[in-house]
């Protein structure tokens, strides 16, 4: 390419150059047939840890199925199943430090929340419309489920920024789906976390569908992970149904953030095996062949094959774990359905962390908002004024 000086009339070469280059790596360590890449798996998960996480998968898959039945039988308002996405939740959460790091979820990360100490019946209470399901117990580092798409990522960036300001070696993991990356909140959170170098790990559970909109229609990028490039943060795409890959990518991102390296982006490629929620019918827009293909990649099936190949699992252990899962889930349901009725005054008592303002105290004590209802003695004063 040539150019010319404004006044000299002299021509010179102006070579075109590359301003920036990038690539997105894909990581898979355990394939859908249960075959493990031992080199990549080195220093990740031990067989005992995989066994423990797999048992959690089995138990929480059973809870997922029972929650679906609760909704269908009219005992719960609605419910978004987590089926098929358990590995992405467990692998990331296991890499984080329980009681130290903070989880900011969407609504398909039940297993991650349970792993970090949230009592499982809180999730059922949430979907039953009981606000006590959002009253996170002291010492459990997570926010309540986030239903608006994408808003939680802003909260995560803010929490992570606070950790940095306080010089605390803590990190934040925030979860969202592929659809959330089309929201403005996502881009604001990514940009803020990047410019502030906040210790935040953005975890996209790319389950291929934003309700009824497929990923390839929703966005024109080949991967979701490449969206991190625009914000100058590391991004990687991993097999979201592979505990090893999800754990490895998450641990590296958390270690980097804890050391002051700023935020990272992880795209876990997975699939929503069930409907978007119990109010949806995915058969209306999804090809049954696509669903069938992804069933073969189910994280529960995959990790069971791996454990069987290692002699750590068999039909007897599966039957015993299934029976144990039924008992555990039965207790979870009893805890949710057996909770005492909430008090009407709770809506006032939990509004302020400190002293309740006098006006709200009057409203709480009288259950009235107008002055006459709060002080009926005024009736006599009004009658007296009318007589005169």
The answer to whether 142 touches 136, Cβ cutoff 8 Å, is: yes
Q: What tokens were used for 150?
A: 């994408």
Angle at 50 between CA 49 and CA 53, to 5 degrees: 85
Q: Which of 276, 302, 303, 304 is catalytic?
A: 276
Residue 62 appears among annotated catalytic residues: no
In the block, tokens 């009235």 appear at: 368
Residue 285 appears among annotated catalytic residues: yes
Closest CA to 141 of 169, 105, 176: 105
Q: Which of 4, 33, 72, 285 is catalytic?
A: 285
Q: What tokens were used for 209?
A: 């569908």
Half-sphere exposure of 317 (CA within 13 A, CB side): 12
Residue 276 appears among annotated catalytic residues: yes
Q: Which of 126, 272, 302, 304 is catalytic?
A: 272
Long-range residue pairs from 71-79, CB within 8 A, at least 24 positions apart, any chain: 71/127, 71/278, 72/278, 75/128, 75/337, 76/124, 76/127, 76/128, 77/127, 77/128, 77/129, 78/127, 78/277, 78/278, 78/279, 79/127, 79/277, 79/278
Q: What tokens were used for 90?
A: 């467990």
The answer to whether 257 touches 45, Cβ cutoff 8 Å, is: no
H helix runs in 166-282, sequence order: 184-195, 215-218, 243-258
The answer to whether 115 touches 90, Cβ cutoff 8 Å, is: yes
Which residues fall within 8 angstroms of residue 252, CB to CB, at 6 or more apart?
264
Count CB-CB contacts under 10 A for residue 335.
Answer: 15
Which residues fall within 8 angstroms of residue 361, CB to CB, at 6 or more apart?
348
Count of helices and strands (H, E) across the chain: 16, 10
Active site (catalytic) residues: 272, 276, 285
């Amino acid at each position: 390419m040539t150019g010319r000086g404004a006044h000299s009339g002299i021509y010179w070469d102006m070579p075109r150059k590359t301003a920036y280059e990038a690539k997105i790596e894909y990581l898979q360590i355990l394939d859908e047939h249960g075959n493990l890449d031992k080199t990549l798996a080195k220093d990740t998960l031990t067989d005992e840890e995989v066994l423990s996480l797999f048992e959690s998968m089995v138990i929480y898959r059973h809870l997922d199925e029972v929650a679906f039945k609760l909704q269908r039988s009219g005992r719960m308002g609605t419910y978004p199943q987590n089926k098929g996405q358990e590995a992405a939740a467990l692998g990331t959460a296991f890499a984080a430090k329980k009681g130290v790091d903070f989880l900011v979820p969407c609504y398909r990360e039940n297993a991650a929340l349970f792993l970090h100490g949230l009592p499982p019946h809180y999730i059922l209470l949430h979907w039953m419309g009981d606000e006590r399901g959002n009253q996170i117990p002291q010492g459990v580092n997570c926010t309540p489920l986030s239903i608006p798409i994408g808003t939680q990522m802003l909260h995560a960036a803010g929490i992570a920024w606070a950790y940095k300001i306080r010089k605390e070696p803590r990190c934040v993991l925030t979860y969202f789906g592929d659809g959330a990356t089309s929201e403005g909140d996502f881009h604001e959170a990514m940009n803020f976390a990047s410019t502030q170098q906040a210790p935040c790990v953005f975890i996209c559970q790319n389950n291929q569908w934003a309700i009824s909109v497929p990923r390839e229609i929703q966005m024109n990028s080949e991967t979701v992970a490449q969206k991190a490039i625009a914000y100058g943060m590391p991004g990687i795409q991993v097999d979201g149904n592979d505990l090893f890959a999800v754990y490895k990518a998450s641990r590296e991102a958390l270690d980097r953030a804890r050391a002051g390296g700023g935020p990272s982006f992880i795209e876990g490629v997975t699939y929503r095996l069930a409907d978007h929620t119990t109010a949806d019918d995915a058969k209306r827009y999804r090809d049954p062949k696509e669903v069938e293909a992804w069933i073969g990649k189910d994280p529960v099936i995959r990790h069971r094959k791996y454990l069987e190949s290692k002699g750590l699992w068999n039909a007897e252990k599966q039957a015993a774990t299934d029976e144990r899962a039924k008992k555990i889930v039965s207790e979870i349901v009893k805890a949710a359905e057996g909770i005492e009725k909430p008090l009407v005054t709770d809506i006032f008592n939990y509004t302020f962390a400190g002293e309740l303002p006098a006006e709200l105290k009057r409203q709480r004590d009288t259950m009235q908002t107008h002055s006459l209802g709060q002080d009926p003695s005024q009736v006599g004063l009004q009658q007296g004024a009318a007589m005169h």
